[in-house]
C-alpha cells in the first residue's frame, strides 16, 4: 500500500459517512474548466443572459487571478482534474418518495428525512451539483417565506436575486469566489418577509458523491426588517483516494432590526478541499451570527465576515475547528465596523491532534467614522499531543480611537491532572479525553439545537478513540 | 474473627521525576477500619494517596500494593476506581464546560456499570445526596469544580464518594482550607457514610489533629521522610497535637518544619 493510501485508510477509519453510491448522473461535465463548460451549465439551467455574462466575467477573473500565497498549501488542487458540474437527477422533488432511490438511501443513512419530521421547518438536500429534494412547512410558505434552491430562486424571483447576487461578495473578491461565480450550482435562496420570525430552523444538506467532483453551491439569504431566521447546513462526502473540492459563496443581508443565525456543521471526509467565502451585511440594529463548526476536510480556509453597515448592528462569530492527522483548519472571522455604536464578538476554539494543524486568522476593522465600537475576540486552542500545531493571526485595523477592542488568546494542553481526576472516577482514558474535549467545545455546542449537539459530541468521541498514546 | 485485609502496602518505594518520596512504607488496612495518616509537610502523605490511586506521574520503584489480595501496583487509575478505591482530592481540578451532573453520571456509570444506572433513579439519588451534604441543586449544572470555593470543592468530593460507594476511601487533607463550620459539614458527611456502610475502610490523611476530633480513627500512623515511624491508637494524634512534629523529626534526623506552613 502506498503511503497515501495507508494515510487515507488511517484518517478515514472512524468516518461513518465515507460510503459512496454507484454514480448514475443524468449529466456530468468533462473534467476541466473551459468557457464551453460554463456556457453548458448556464444553458442547461436556461439562465437569463445577465447570469451567463456574470459567469463568463468570473471565469476570466479566475484564470487571471493567481493562487493565494498565504494560509494553507493549495498546490494539491488540480483544477484540470475536476468535474465542475454533475447533475444527479432531472428535477428537484418535494416528496422524498420521488427522489431517485439510490440518492434517497444516502440521505436516509444520514438521517435527514427523520430529522425533517422531528424538528425542522424546511429541508433542502443537495447531491453533487443540484438540489434533489426541497420542502418547506406550509404555514411558513403561507406567511410568504421563500426557501428554495438557488436555481429555482433565480427563475422565480429574478428581481430579488439580481438585486443582491454578487453584491456582498463580488466575483473578484478572491480566486475561489471567482471560481464559484463561474460554475455555481444549487445552494439555498431564502427571503423572509417583514416582521416574520421563523422560529424553527431551516436546514440544507450538502453531499458530494462523485470522485474528483467540485461542489460550488451558492447561498443568498435576505431578512426584511424585523424578521428572523435560523439556517443550518451540514456537509459530508465519501472517502476517495483523490481529492474533491468544495467552494461555496454565501451572502447574507440582514435589513433593519432583523436577525440571521447561520449554523454550519462541516464534516467533509478528509480528502476535500473546503474553500468557502461567507460574508454578511448587517443594517441598522440588525444581528448576524455565524455558528461555524469545522470537523472534517483536508484543508479548510474559511473566515465568515460581518460588515456592520449601520448604527446598532451586531455581529457574532462562534467557531470551532478540529484538525486530526493530515488536516489543516485555517478558520477565523472578519468584523468590519463601518458605523458608530456597532458591536461584535468572536469566540474561536480549536483542537489539534495527531499532528493536525489549526489556525485562527481574523480581522477586526474599525472605519474612521465608526465611533463607540465594541469588539471582543477570544481564541482558545487545545493541543492533544506534542506533534500538533496551533497558530493565531489576529489582524487589527483600528481607525477610530474611541473603539473598545479586547483580544485574548490561550493555548493549552489536556492536563495530566484533569485526566487523572476523571480516571480516578472510573472513566477510561479515551472517555476522559472526550469529556475534556466536549467541555472545551461546550460554549459552541450549547448554541446548537439539541439533536446536533448530541451528534457533535458523538463525533468528537469517535475522533478521540485510541487517541492518546 | 480476623477481618480480611482490604489493602496491603508492602515495602513501598515511589518517586516522582527522579526524586525519592516513599522509602519502604508498610501499611495494612482491613475492611471497616478507619486509619489516620499524619505527618509534617513533605513527608509523603499526598504521594501515598496518589500512588494508591495510580497517578501516572509517580513511579513505584520497589514494593507492591495488594487490593483484596490482588497486585494492583501497575493498574491504571480507572481500574482501581472500578475495584473500589476512591480518592477525595486535596486540590480537586476544574474541568470547564463539563457539568457536575454529566460528570457524576459518567463516573457512576463507569464504576457501577452503565447497565446498572438508569437516569431517573440516578437523578433522585443525586438530588437527595446533594441535599444531605447541603449542596444546592444548581451545582448539577455548574462546571466541575470551576469557580467553586474551597468548601464547595471538598463537599463535592464527599458527594462523589457517597455516589461511588467505595470500599476504600482515601481522604487527602480534606480539612485543608476549611473553616470550622465547613469542616463539620464535610466530616458529618463522611461519618454518615461510614455508619451507612460499616464495611467501608478509610485512610484519613491530615497534617493536623483537628479533623480527627470529628472523624474518629481506629489507628493513627505517623509518616516521616516516606516511612511510617510510629503507629498506635488515637492517643498518638493527641501526643502529636501537644508536642508537634519537631521532636519526631529530630529523632529521625530531619530538619524541623518552617513556621506558618
Predicted confidence at residue A467, as pLDDT, reads 47
- Kindly provide the ipTM of the predicted complex, given to two decimals: 0.95
Mean pLDDT of all residues in A301-316: 98
In the block, cell 461565480 appears at A181
Whether residue A201 contacts residue A233, with contact meaning beta carbons closer than 8 Å, is answered with no
Query: Where residue A371 falls among pLDDT bands split at 50, 70, 90?
Result: very high
Q: Which residues of B touch A423 (CB under 8 A)?
A: 54, 76-78, 81
For A233, the grid coordinates are 447546513
Mean pLDDT of all residues in A270-286: 95
Q: Which residues of B touch A431 (CB under 8 A)?
A: 106, 110
Residue A425, chain B, CB below 8 Å: the answer is yes
pLDDT digits (tens, 9 = 90+) for B132-157: 888 999 999 999 999 999 989 999 99
Whether residue A110 contacts residue A207, with contact meaning beta carbons closer than 8 Å, is answered with yes
Name the residue among A174, A142, A145, A143 with its Cα closest to residue A157: A145
Predicted confidence at residue A402, as pLDDT, reads 96
Give the DSSP letter of residue B142.
Answer: S
- If 0-12 CB within 10 Å is exposed, 13-18 middle and 19+ buried, where does residue A406 land? exposed
Best of B52, B83, B97, B108 to substitute, by most chain A Cβ atoms within 10 angstroms, is B97
Which chain B residue lies closest to A420 (C-alpha atoms)?
B55
Mean pLDDT in chain B?
92
Residues of chain B contacting A, Cβ within 8 Å: 53-57, 76-78, 80-82, 86-87, 89, 92-93, 95-98, 102-103, 106-107, 110-111, 143-144, 160, 164
CA atoms within 13 A of residue A154's CA, in its CB half-sphere = 20
Which of A11-25, A442-456, B12-26, B103-117 bottoms out in mean pLDDT, i.e. has the lowest?
A11-25
B78 to A429: CB separation less than 8 angstroms, yes or no: yes
Query: Over 80: is that where the pLDDT of B72 sits?
Result: yes
Query: Over 80: is that where the pLDDT of A463 sits?
Result: no
Query: Over 70: is that where the pLDDT of B2 sits?
Result: no
pLDDT digits (tens, 9 = 90+) for A92-103: 888 888 888 877
Predicted confidence at residue A156, as pLDDT, reads 96
Domain boundaries, chain B: 5-90+167-251
Predicted confidence at residue B261, as pLDDT, reads 42
Whether residue B67 contacts residue B6, with contact meaning beta carbons closer than 8 Å, is answered with yes
CA distance B171 to chain A (A): 13
pLDDT digits (tens, 9 = 90+) for A141-200: 899 999 999 999 999 999 999 999 999 999 999 999 999 999 999 999 999 999 999 988
CA atoms within 13 A of residue A251's CA, in its CB half-sphere = 21
Mean pLDDT of all residues in A317-344: 96
Q: For the whole prediction, is pTM greater than 0.90? A: no
pLDDT digits (tens, 9 = 90+) for A194-248: 999 998 889 888 888 777 888 999 999 999 999 999 999 887 777 666 788 999 9
Mean pLDDT of all residues in B161-166: 97
Phi–psi pair at A443, nearest 5 degrees: -55, -25
Predicted confidence at residue A97, as pLDDT, reads 83
Query: Where residue A427 falls among pLDDT bands split at 50, 70, 90?
Result: very high
Task: Give the C-alpha distances (Å, rounded to integers) separating A229 from A123, A238, A253, A264, B26.
Answer: 14, 31, 12, 14, 68
Predicted confidence at residue A466, as pLDDT, reads 52
Predicted confidence at residue B257, as pLDDT, reads 66
Q: Which residue has the higher pLDDT, A6 or B56?
A: B56
% residues pLDDT > 70 (chain B): 97
Give the DSSP letter of residue B211.
Answer: G
Mean pLDDT in chain A?
89
Query: Over 60: is that where the pLDDT of B248 sits?
Result: yes
Query: Over 50: is that where the pLDDT of A469 sits?
Result: no
- Strands (DSSP E) along A338-436, which ranges? 343-352, 357-366, 374-383, 389-398, 404-413
Which chain B residue lies closest to A442 (C-alpha atoms)?
B97
Q: Which residue has the higher pLDDT, A389 or A104?
A: A389
Whether residue A381 contacts residue A358, with contact meaning beta carbons closer than 8 Å, is answered with yes
Mean pLDDT of all residues in A409-425: 91
Measure CB to CB from residue B97 to each of A426, A429, A440 and give the nearest one. A440
Predicted confidence at residue A274, as pLDDT, reads 94
Task: Give the C-alpha distances (Å, rounded to integers) separating B21 from B25, B46, B47.
Answer: 10, 10, 7
B78 to A428: CB separation less than 8 angstroms, yes or no: yes
Rg over CA atoms, chain B: 18
pLDDT digits (tens, 9 = 90+) for A29-76: 888 899 999 999 999 999 999 999 999 999 999 999 999 988 889 998
Predicted confidence at residue B203, as pLDDT, reads 97
Which chain B residue lies closest to A421 (C-alpha atoms)?
B93
CATH number of B5-90+167-251: 3.40.50.300
Amino acid at each position: 500500500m502506498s503511503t497515501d493510501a495507508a494515510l487515507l485508510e488511517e484518517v478515514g477509519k472512524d468516518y461513518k459517512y465515507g460510503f459512496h453510491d454507484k454514480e448514475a448522473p443524468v449529466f456530468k461535465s468533462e473534467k476541466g474548466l473551459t468557457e464551453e463548460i460554463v456556457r453548458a451549465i448556464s444553458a442547461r439551467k436556461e439562465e437569463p443572459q445577465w447570469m451567463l455574462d456574470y459567469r463568463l466575467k468570473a471565469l476570466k477573473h479566475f484564470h487571471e487571478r493567481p493562487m493565494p500565497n498565504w494560509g494553507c498549501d493549495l498546490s494539491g488542487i488540480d483544477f484540470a482534474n475536476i468535474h465542475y458540474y454533475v447533475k444527479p437527477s432531472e428535477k428537484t422533488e418535494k416528496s422524498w418518495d420521488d427522489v431517485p432511490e439510490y440518492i434517497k438511501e444516502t440521505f436516509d443513512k444520514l438521517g435527514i428525512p427523520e430529522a425533517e419530521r422531528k424538528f425542522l421547518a424546511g429541508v433542502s438536500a443537495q447531491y453533487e451539483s443540484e438540489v434533489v429534494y426541497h420542502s418547506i412547512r406550509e404555514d411558513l410558505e403561507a406567511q410568504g417565506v421563500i426557501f428554495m434552491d438557488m436555481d429555482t430562486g433565480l427563475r422565480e424571483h429574478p428581481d430579488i436575486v439580481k438585486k443582491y447576487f454578487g453584491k456582498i461578495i463580488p466575483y473578484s473578491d478572491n480566486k475561489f469566489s471567482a471560481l464559484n461565480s463561474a460554475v455555481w450550482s444549487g445552494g439555498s435562496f431564502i427571503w423572509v418577509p417583514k416582521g416574520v420570525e421563523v422560529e424553527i430552523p431551516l436546514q440544507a444538506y450538502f453531499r458530494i458523491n462523485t470522485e474528483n467532483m467540485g461542489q460550488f453551491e451558492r447561498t443568498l439569504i435576505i431578512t426584511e426588517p424585523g424578521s428572523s431566521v435560523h439556517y443550518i447546513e451540514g456537509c459530508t462526502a465519501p472517502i476517495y483516494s483523490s481529492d474533491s473540492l468544495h467552494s461555496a459563496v454565501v451572502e447574507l443581508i440582514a435589513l433593519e432590526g432583523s436577525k440571521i443565525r447561520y449554523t454550519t456543521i462541516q464534516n467533509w471526509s478528509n480528502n476535500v478541499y473546503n474553500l468557502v467565502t461567507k460574508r454578511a451585511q448587517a443594517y441598522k440594529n440588525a444581528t448576524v451570527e455565524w455558528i461555524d463548526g469545522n470537523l472534517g476536510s483536508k484543508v479548510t480556509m474559511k473566515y465568515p465576515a460581518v460588515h456592520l453597515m449601520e448604527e446598532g448592528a451586531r455581529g457574532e462569530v462562534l467557531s470551532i475547528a478540529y484538525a486530526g492527522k493530515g488536516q489543516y483548519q485555517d478558520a477565523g472571522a472578519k468584523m468590519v465596523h463601518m458605523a458608530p455604536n456597532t458591536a461584535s464578538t468572536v469566540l474561536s476554539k480549536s483542537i489539534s491532534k495527531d499532528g493536525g494543524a489549526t489556525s485562527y486568522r481574523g480581522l477586526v476593522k474599525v472605519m474612521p467614522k465608526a465611533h463607540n465600537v465594541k469588539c471582543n475576540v477570544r481564541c482558545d486552542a487545545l493541543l492533544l499531543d506534542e506533534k500538533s500545531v496551533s497558530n493565531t493571526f489576529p489582524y487589527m485595523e483600528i481607525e477610530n480611537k474611541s473603539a473598545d477592542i479586547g483580544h485574548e488568546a490561550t493555548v493549552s494542553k489536556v492536563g495530566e491532572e484533569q485526566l487523572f481526576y476523571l480516571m480516578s472516577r472510573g472513566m477510561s482514558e479515551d472517555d476522559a479525553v472526550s469529556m475534556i474535549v466536549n467541555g472545551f467545545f461546550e460554549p459552541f455546542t450549547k448554541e446548537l439545537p439539541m439533536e446536533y449537539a448530541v451528534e457533535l459530541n458523538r463525533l468528537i468521541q469517535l475522533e478521540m478513540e485510541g487517541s492518546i498514546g | 474473627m480476623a477481618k480480611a485485609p482490604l489493602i496491603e502496602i508492602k515495602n513501598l518505594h515511589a518517586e516522582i521525576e527522579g526524586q525519592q518520596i516513599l522509602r519502604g512504607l508498610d501499611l495494612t488496612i482491613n475492611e471497616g477500619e478507619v486509619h489516620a495518616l499524619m505527618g509534617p509537610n513533605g513527608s509523603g502523605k499526598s504521594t501515598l494517596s496518589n500512588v494508591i490511586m495510580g497517578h501516572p506521574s509517580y513511579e513505584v520503584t520497589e514494593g507492591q500494593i495488594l487490593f483484596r489480595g490482588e497486585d494492583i501496583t501497575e493498574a491504571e487509575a480507572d481500574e482501581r476506581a472500578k475495584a473500589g478505591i476512591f480518592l477525595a482530592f486535596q486540590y480537586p481540578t476544574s474541568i470547564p464546560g463539563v457539568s457536575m451532573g454529566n460528570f457524576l453520571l459518567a463516573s457512576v456509570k463507569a464504576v457501577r456499570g452503565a447497565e446498572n444506572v438508569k437516569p431517573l433513579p440516578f437523578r433522585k439519588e443525586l438530588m437527595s445526596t446533594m441535599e444531605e451534604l447541603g449542596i444546592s441543586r444548581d451545582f448539577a449544572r455548574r462546571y466541575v469544580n470551576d469557580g467553586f470555593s474551597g468548601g464547595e470543592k471538598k463537599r463535592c468530593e464527599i458527594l462523589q464518594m457517597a455516589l461511588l460507594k467505595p470500599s476504600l476511601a482515601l481522604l487527602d487533607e480534606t480539612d485543608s482550607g476549611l473553616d470550622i463550620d465547613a469542616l463539620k459539614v464535610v466530616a458529618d458527611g463522611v461519618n454518615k457514610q461510614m455508619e451507612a456502610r460499616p464495611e467501608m475502610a478509610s485512610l484519613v490523611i491530615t497534617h493536623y489533629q483537628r479533623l480527627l476530633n470529628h472523624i474518629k480513627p481506629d489507628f493513627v500512623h505517623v509518616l516521616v521522610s516516606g516511612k511510617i515511624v510510629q503507629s498506635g491508637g488515637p492517643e498518638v494524634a493527641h501526643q502529636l497535637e501537644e508536642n508537634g512534629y519537631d521532636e519526631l523529626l529530630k529523632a529521625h534526623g530531619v530538619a524541623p518544619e518552617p513556621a506558618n506552613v
